[in-house]
A and B are shown apart, each in its own frame.
Chain A
Amino acid sequence: DAGVTQSPTHLIKTRGQQVTLRCSPKSGHDTVSWYQQALGQGPQFIFQYYEEEERQRGNFPDRFSGHQFPNYSSELNVNALLLGDSALYLCASSLVGMSTEAFFGQGTRLTVV
């Protein structure tokens, strides 16, 4: 039983570029949440997807967008990258929201230069 898988594991982009990160949830999970974790900080909630719709959104600009597919996998898109977007991006899957245990993927380390 595969856990949460994310791709790619590492990525280097230039300011102004766009990036797409991917996440496959744990088998049987239907909810995907994305987090941004800066170095030395706790994960910051970006948004959550359930039934292919954005259910909840954190305090992130519209440059951050996402999508969930019928197979529950998800993408995080970030446009017009800034140096400050450099972080570890974590995907977490759970069953119908976050009132149950969340399983995190290994994350994608994004570096913007």
Chain B
Amino acid sequence: GQQVMQIPQYQHVQEGEDFTTYCNSSTTLSNIQWYKQRPGGHPVFLIQLVKSGEVKKQKRLTFQFGEAKKNSSLHITATQTTDVGTYFCAGLLGSARQLTFGSGTQLTVLP
């Protein structure tokens, strides 16, 4: 069935290293949203991408939406301990009204 895949499932990095998580869909996405969930918390919206090839930056975070609107990535430059959490992508598949979430990438930042 339609689904959104996310890799890697886990990532451990040393503080100051970069981090990237990738999101892939078998179906064209109307948009892609990224959320961060801290341990014990709830998903918090980070950003939404709508246009093919779109790139958005938030300080050390860079988000990209693929040209075919089937994949996306989140890149964090020079990670900090405050970046710890699970990062989820979530997309609207085609004309669907429901967000389909990826399985998430759990980021651990070692001090």
Contact = CB atoms under 8 A, between A and B. Distances in A.
Interface of A: 33, 35, 41-45, 48, 55-56, 58, 90, 92, 97-107
Interface string B98-111: 11111110000000
A-B pairs, 5 with minimum CB distance: A42-B101, A104-B42, A45-B98, A101-B45, A56-B97
| Interface of chain A: mostly helix, strand, loop or mixed | loop
| Interface of chain B: mostly helix, strand, loop or mixed | strand
Interface in B20-52: 30-31, 33, 35, 41-45, 48
Given A42-B102, A42-B104, A90-B43, A98 B97 contact: yes
Most buried by B among A42, A43, A45, A55: A42
